[in-house]
Amino acid sequence: MAANIVLAAAALKRAAGVIIAKGGSAPHEADLVAGNLVETNLRGHDSHGVGMIPRYVDSLLDGELQPNQQPEVKLDTGVLLRLDGRRGYGQAIGVAAMALGIERARKHGVCVIALANSHHLGRIGCWAEQCISAGLASVHFANVIARPVVAPWGGRDARLGTNPICIGIPRPGRDPIVLDMATSRIAQGKTRVAFNRGEELESGVLLDDHGDPTTNPRFAVKPPFGALLPFGEHKGYGLSVACELLGGALTGGGTGRVPYQGKRRVLNGMFSILIDPEHLGTGAEFARETEEFVEWVLRSPPASDDNRVKLAGDPEREYRKQRLAEGIPVDAATWEEILAAGEKLGVERAEVTELAGIARHHSVTTSPT
């Protein structure tokens, strides 16, 4: 049985924030990073939530992650922006990069952003949502320079990152559409979550270190490593290659084409296109057609009583509502890793647990493994 500690979002943010701050981040950055991680947990993506803190701490201690950075502007033509993330926290770099792009898209109608050398950008959907809040549609292609974790379709070892693609579509007055997905069958962090919970993966997701199918997540977490498989066979593989070349080569950040050298880092490049429908002259038509098409799609009879038709972004909103009310589950193994990461920076376990509310009150649920 794997135990879950269930924590309120505000308390978990305080606990995460003290560790980030101890790593050298200014208060604003620590609050930004912690808030982003907890928000990601709220939306059900535990793979990109507070469980990333141990990896961030290792990257800090290795000198691979640099706190308190802002994107460096390498080129600015108004509609074209080329930025260097300076290995800064992706949560801070991403916010700043999208703010620059939004400003220019509002002025010119479009902005193309080539962002290189950011540390882990987290849930890419966050950046689409930032654009949506400004009334913009956006498309994002990201690559990952770290240990390769995904096999090419037809291959038996890891050569690619999880290389996500994200599309954000605003719906004025209604919940937006946010398609945010790894090009692998599952995100790498989901293998860590399964491993820490003592759970098996579905078949068809992972290869072992010999290139044979396995359901044991340890082959994605501990050496000897195996490889995740791309989603949709050749289709996910094709998209992954496109993300690598657009997010890595075109941005100037480079591609993940060298053998793993043991560096504990997660560098992202991201190629983004931001579009203002009003400048395009189709704002009203875009909004009307979007709603009429969405209504048409959602009228499809449900496949089962508990499986209605949803839009991209609906599951995350449902998770958020539930977890705000009931708390965020953090498995015991992940919580132990977070406490150990804090200790590496000199943060006492007692301080983290008290900030998380565990010293005063906590609940534990169990789930079968």
pLDDT tens for each residue of 272-325: 999 999 999 999 999 999 999 999 999 999 988 888 899 999 999 999 999 999
Q: Residues 197, 190: contact at Cβ < 8 Å?
A: no
Res 361: pLDDT: 42
- The amino acid that residue 26 corresponds to is A
Token pair for 34? 């912690």
Q: What is the DSSP letter of 47?
A: G
- Judge whether residue 59 has pLDDT over 90: yes
| Backbone phi and psi for residue 145, each to the nearest 5 degrees, phi listed first | -105, 105
Cα torsion angle, 352, 53, 319, 6, sign: negative
Q: By percentage, how much of the chain surpasses pLDDT 90?
A: 89
- Judge whether residue 367 has pLDDT over 60: no
Domains and CATH numbers, the chain: 1-61+313-369 (1.10.1530.10), 68-184+231-310 (3.30.1370.60)
pLDDT tens for each residue of 322-347: 999 999 999 999 999 999 999 999 99
Q: Residues 166, 125: contact at Cβ < 8 Å?
A: yes
Res 2: pLDDT: 54
- Judge whether residue 101 has pLDDT over 80: yes
Q: Going by DSSP bridges, is the β-strand pair 363-367/267-275 parallel, antiparallel, or unpaired?
A: unpaired
The confidence band for 368, taking pLDDT boundaries of 50, 70 and 90, is very low
Tabulate helix, strand, coil % of the chain (nearest 5). Answer: 45, 20, 35
- Judge whether residue 243 has pLDDT over 50: yes
Res 306: pLDDT: 81
How many CB atoms lie under 10 A from the CB of residue 181? 18
Q: What is the 3-state secondary structure (H, E, C) of 210-275?
A: CCCEECCCHHHHCCCCCEECECCCHHHHHHHHHHHHHHHHHCCCCCCCCCCCCCCCCEEEEEEEEE
Q: Residues 227, 157: contact at Cβ < 8 Å?
A: yes
Buried b or exposed e, range 187-202, using 16+ CB within 10 angstroms: bbbbbbbbbbbebebe
Q: Residues 96, 65: contact at Cβ < 8 Å?
A: no
The confidence band for 258, taking pLDDT boundaries of 50, 70 and 90, is confident
Helix axes of 27-42 and 90-108: crossing angle, nearest 10 degrees: 90
How many CB atoms lie under 10 A from the CB of residue 62? 12
Rounded to whole angstroms, what are the CA distances from 301 to 53, 292, 343? 42, 17, 53
Average pLDDT over residues 4-27: 97
- Judge whether residue 362 has pLDDT over 80: no
pTM above 0.75, yes or no: yes
Q: Residues 77, 363: contact at Cβ < 8 Å?
A: no
Closest CA to 180 of 197, 164, 192, 201: 164
Judge residue 301's burial from the number of C-beta atoms within 10 Å of its C-beta, 0-12 exposed, 13-18 middle, 19 or more buried: exposed
- Judge whether residue 364 has pLDDT over 60: no
Calpha distance 273→91 (Å, rounded): 19
Residue indicated by tokens 């005063």:
360
Average pLDDT over residues 137-154: 96
